[in-house]
Every structure is written in C-alpha cells, then in structure tokens.
Structure 1
Amino acid sequence: MNQKQKLIVLIGPTAVGKTKLSIELAKKFNGEIISGDSMQVYKGMDIGTAKVTNEEMEGIPHHLIDIKEPDESFSTAEFQELVRTKIDEISSRGRIPMIVGGTGLYIQSVIYDYHFTDAPSDLSFRNMLEKEAEEHGQDYLHERLRAVDPESASRIHPNNLRRVIRALEIIHCTGKTAAELQEKQSPELLYDTAIIGLTMDRELLYNRINLRVDLMLEQGLLEEVKYFYDQGLKDCQSIQAIGYKELYDYFAGKIDLETAVENLKQNSRRYAKRQLTWFRNKMNVEWFDMSVSNDAEKKFAEISKFIEGKLEIRANT
C-alpha cells in the first residue's frame, strides 16, 4: 500500500491572519504554499484579493497566484487538477505542500476524493436549455438555477453558460443538487492531512475586516478596480469578487463612494460568516482561536505541535 502524501491545510475567514502564519509554518516545516483562494489566480487583482506580496513571502515558494487573465473563467474542477499536480511536484522535492486560503469548496475538492463527472447527463435536455438561453438570454437560465440550487447559482456567473446548464442538468437527471451529490459520495481524505482552522471573536474579526478595507483603499484599491473598469472588463467571473463588484457600482454611477465602501465592508463580513459556517459543516478542522493578539507565539507553538503529531513529522529547529 502506497503511503499517502503529507499535506498541511490552513483555512479560516478573511482577515483572520492566515498569510503571516502560513509563512512561519512553511519556514518551520520546509513547506511550499499553494493558494486556496479562487480569486488570487487573477493577474492584477492584487489589493482587492489581499494577495501576498513578494516581500511578505520571505522566500517561501507560492503557487497558483497570477495564473489567469481577469477575463478567463476558473472552475472548481480546474483548481482540483492544478493543485493535485502541485502537491505531487512539491512532495517529490521532499518538501511539505501547504494549501492556504478561504475558498472552502475548492479546498474540499482537492483533499477529498470527489468526482465531478459522475452525475449522469441528458443531451436532449441540454440542447433544450441552450435554445432557451438563445431565446431568453443567459440571465433567464441563471435565475432558473437560483430557484432550484441557490448555492451553485451563487458560485457560477450567469455568463458561464456551460456550468449553469450542467448544474441544471444534474438536478434534472438526479433530483439532487451538485452539493447534495458530493455529500452522498462520502469520500475519504486523499492525503495524510492536518487541517488547521483559524477563528476569532466575531466582533474583533469584523473590526479587522473593516480596517483591512480602509487599508486597501489607502493602498490604491480604487485605482486597481478603475483600471479594470476602464478596460471594459465586465460580465466575467473575476469582477464578481468582493471588492470589485461594489466599486464597479460606484464607477457606473449607481451609488456614491461612501455607500460602495460600506457595501464592501458589509459583504466582506457576510462572506467571513459564510466561510466559517462552511468549514465547520463540511470539514474535519482543528480550530485555533487567534483573538488574543499577544498570544501569537503560544498559538504558533500549539499549531506546530498539532502538525507534528498529526503528520508524524519533525519541524526545522
């Protein structure tokens, strides 16, 4: 029997402190970091996605950052394939792969043995939906999906017609949503995995999110988003990211800047809440509370000890 590859997964809501901790853990465990964020794949979307800077990396290799143009789509299945290849590459170098991020479904798809192609298909139904899209528009089909599978609709952009149709086809053929089918698979972990979750007092986390938005604006978020807006980039997956869609409304003259910033903060807080709910319900996570700021050294020691015990590895001293 082949021994499973070792893998560290560091998850948690936005602004909880994953980036800094991941660098320290990578140094300690001879690791390389794979981004587990669905939006950091896009080139030029740096400030709004809180992308790690070269300086912050401190020489630790990072993967799956800046691999897509902003007008390209990116799916869970593509992420799954790319990350599994990276895990093989990193492991072959005798280093420990680490997935770090907050996009729950993407990370879950990698570490568990999910099969995206198992659901049956119905070509005549698919052709019928394609005709409906031609007659009534893509938004019409997306609204149909939202009515029966709001979770998939929230992830799939209306312009990604192929994925909208596939999600509707799965329900038509099985009577179940894609997420429900995944749960029925009851897959095992593919890797020898230590899953670490960072959490924080809700009010403290929300304050950190609000401060992070203010800092992003100081760093030039408005200019970053305005560049894409002026390029005519719209109706694509990347611009649905929090931090971009709100400011697009401002540039389009739909709302004033103050409202756009407040919407951005509110949407970020709501997203953090959804992230925590997802991780708690879908994954077997060892949680560490990062609320006490002067406790960082102690928490790092606790997390390191957990990794050593779970993966049976020795850290660099």
Structure 2
Amino acid sequence: MKKTVVVIVGPTAVGKTTLSIEIAKHFNGEVINGDAMQVYKGLNIGTAKIREEEKQGIDHYLLDMILPEADYTAADFQNDVEKYVHIISEKSKLPIIVGGSGMYIQAALYGYRFSNRKRDHAYTEKLENLVHEKGVVYIHDLLKQIDPLQAKTIHPNNYRRVIRALEIYETTGLTMSQQIEKEPKQPMYDIIFIGLEMERTLLYNQINKRCDQMITNGLLEEVKQLYQNGYEDTKAMKAIGYKEFLPYIKGEQPLEESIHLFKRNSRRYAKRQYTWFKNKMNIQWYSVTPDTASQTVHTILHDLAGFLGDK
C-alpha cells in the first residue's frame, strides 16, 4: 500500500506553517519542509524558517541541512523526502509536507526520473557569459525558440533555470517539456493535497507586513553575515530576501530601493506560486483571510479527519 502523505501548499505568507503545526498536533504527524531555501543553514529570517518555539514539540525534517555554498537540487529533495516519509511512517505517524517550492514538491511526489548525465560545464559557462554580455532576456528568447512551453513557466530573471533548460536540450536532444511529458503521472504516495489561498489585495498586504517584520527581526544583519562569510555568489544568496539587499550592503543601492524590490519580488513570487499549484496539481483549496484563519484551520481539520478516515 502507498504511504499516506498530507501536502500543504500555497503562496508565501498565507499561513501554511501555522496550519501544518495544527494538523501535526491533531493527527500525530511530523513535518517535512517543502521550501527549497530552508534547507540551508544561516538562511533563517529571509526564508521565514520556523523557529524552535513555533514547532510546539513537533519534529521537523529538511531544515538547516547544508551550508549555503552547496547546490541542493530537486533530485536531492526527492531522495530526502522519500527517506523521511519512510522514517515518519515507520513510527506510525503522519508525514506532512509543507512549503511553496512547486517544482521540488512535484518532483518528490511523482517520482521524477532525473538524468544521471553529467552537466556540460563548458556549455553552462558559455550561457552564463551570454547572460553577462547580452542579458537575461536574450537567453530567455533562446529558450522560447527551443521550448516555448517551458519559456512560459520560467521567468527571464530566473536565468539559472533558463540555463538548465537549455543545457538539458543541448545534452539530451530533448526539451525539458518533452522530458516532463515522459515522467510518471501517478503519485508515489496516497496524497491529500491542501491549498491555502487568499484574496490578492489581502495577501499582498500580508506579504508587505511580513517583509517589514523580517527587517525588524534582523534580516539585514543576516544578509550581511552571509556576505561577509563569502556566500555572495552562491545559489542560496539568489533567493528573495537576500539578493535584494546585497547591493545595499555593498553601498551600491539605497535601502529604500532594496526594501521596495524585496516586497515587489515577494508579491510576484506569490503570484507565480499560486499559478504553479493551480495548474500542476489537483488540490483542495481553502480561502483564508487574516480574520478567519482560525475558523479555516478548524474546517480543514474537520475535513481532514474525514479524508483520513476513508483511508
């Protein structure tokens, strides 16, 4: 029999962490982080990583695993999720995956087969040089010509994913879209999907407030420490909440501009998250507002009791 897994998804700042704790408490569960950036040590405030006191004694996995210079991939995440789902299930507890990294979560749940083919570092370097010489839009246009479907799902500024998609075509002869089409369509687990959504104006207001709170909580000091430790050019430091403040810390940009970009990029990311989950997965969505959050949690717990009772 497939193992039962609860998966909580939705845009940033919508309340996924709070819900995950309540579900874990009510249904004897443990939580697996589903945010690709929270695996890194030292990236705490900017990734909204759950604090120890917020865990309420619930065991969490896939947090603070690796140093920022490491390259943590969707294949790594898939392997780790499989390991921890097994560990939690063996304890007769409910695995709960919570996060907003759509591609990582999808890859883990549907058992994507990742190629063992080594990366073509010379070709990657060539594309990175093109980014510096001609800009991100130029290589995004290259992807449009080769794989228009993927080009629609990858923002030009996410040039590392653009490069990876081009590299896959260069080394395999197949576009990323063609490879995804070949992937398994049946999930590895018996999944109960729960999605949280919020009216856009309310959500954007929540995001702006959380960004301000992160700054109050010491985000600038966190970014400065990572910069001083030599992590400026790492994949981890390209995350929202970090890349926006590096120019300020280096004296190249006013603080007000960094804060503006931080909030804007966070809102845009939330929109992309919502679009991804709506298009990629069959999710039971629950609308929530700041004033009705506790009632929504109560409704979800009631519905989940019925879902689990039918298993």
TM-score, scaled relative to structure 2: 0.87
Tell me, yes or no, if the aligned pair for 2:7 and 2:96 is still in contact at 8 Å.
yes
Cross-structure match for 2:129: 139
Q: Look up the match of 1:69.
A: 67
C-alpha distance in structure 2 between counterparts of 1:195 and 1:105, whole Å: 15
- Provide the rounded CA distance (Å) in 1 between the counterparts of 2:294 and 2:259: 34
- The match for 2:100 is 102
Distance 1:48 1:183 in 2: 34
Q: Say if 2:230 is the partner of 1:232.
A: yes
| Contiguous gaps of at least 5 residues in structure 2 | 144-149
Equivalent runs, 1:111-260 vs 2, <5 Å: 111-117=109-115, 130=122, 133=125, 136=126, 138-140=128-130, 146=140, 147-148=142-143, 150=151, 151=154, 157=160, 164=163, 167-172=165-170, 176-260=174-258
Conserved? CA contact 2:24–2:96, under 8 Å: yes
Distance 1:131 1:106 in 2: 24
Structure 1 residue aligned with 2:18, among 17, 20, 24?
Answer: 20
Query: By how many angstroms is 1:277 displaced?
Result: 0.1
* Aligned-partner Cα distance in 2 for 1:245–1:132: 21
Q: Deviations over 1:205-241 (max 9, x none)?
A: 0000000011011111111111112223221110001
Native 8 Å contact 1:9 1:98 kept in 2: yes
Mind listing any 5+ residue stretches in structure 1 that lack a counterpart? none
**Aligned residue among 16, 21, 45 for 1:47:** 45
Identity %: 44
- TM superposition shift of 1:308: 2.6
User: Equivalent of 1:298, from 292, 295, 298?
Assistant: 295
Letter of the structure 1 residue corresponding to residue 128 of structure 2: Q
Q: What is the identity, as a one-letter code, of the residue corresponding to 1:308?
A: A
Q: Distance in 2 between matches of 1:248 and 1:313?
A: 50
1:42-64: CA deviation from partner (whole Å, max 9, x where unpaired): 11111101110000000000100
Q: How do residues 82-97 of structure 1 correspond to structure 2 at under 5 angstroms?
A: 82-97=80-95
Q: CA deviation at 1:140?
A: 2.8
Q: Name whichever of 148-157 and 266-275 sits farther off.
A: 148-157
Distance 1:311 1:154, change over 3 A: farther
User: C-alpha displacement at 1:137, in angstroms?
Assistant: 7.2
Tell me the secondary structure at the aligned position of residue 224 of structure 2: helix
Distance 1:93 1:155, change over 3 A: farther
Aligned to 1:281: 279
TM-score by length of 1: 0.86
Work out the CA distance in 2 between the residues paired with 1:14 and 1:6. 25
Q: Rate the CA distance shift 1:274–1:152 in 2: closer, same or farther, 3 A.
A: closer
How big is each residue's C-alpha offset from its partner over 1:24-76, in whole Å with a ceiling of 9 and x where there is no partner?
Answer: 11000100000000100111111101110000000000100000101111100
User: What is the CA deviation profile of residues 69-97 of structure 1, one whole-angstrom value per residue up to 9, with x for unaligned ones?
Assistant: 01111100000001110000000010000
**Contact 1:114-1:187 at 8 Å conserved across structures:** no
State the one-letter code of the partner of 1:212.
R
| Compared CA separation, residues 272 and 137, structure 1 to 2 (3 A) | closer
> What's the offset of the Cα at 1:204?
0.3
Tell me what 2:147 maps to: none
- Matched to 1:73, the amino acid is D
* Residue of structure 2 in register with 1:308 after alignment: 305
Aligned-residue offset at 1:193: 0.7
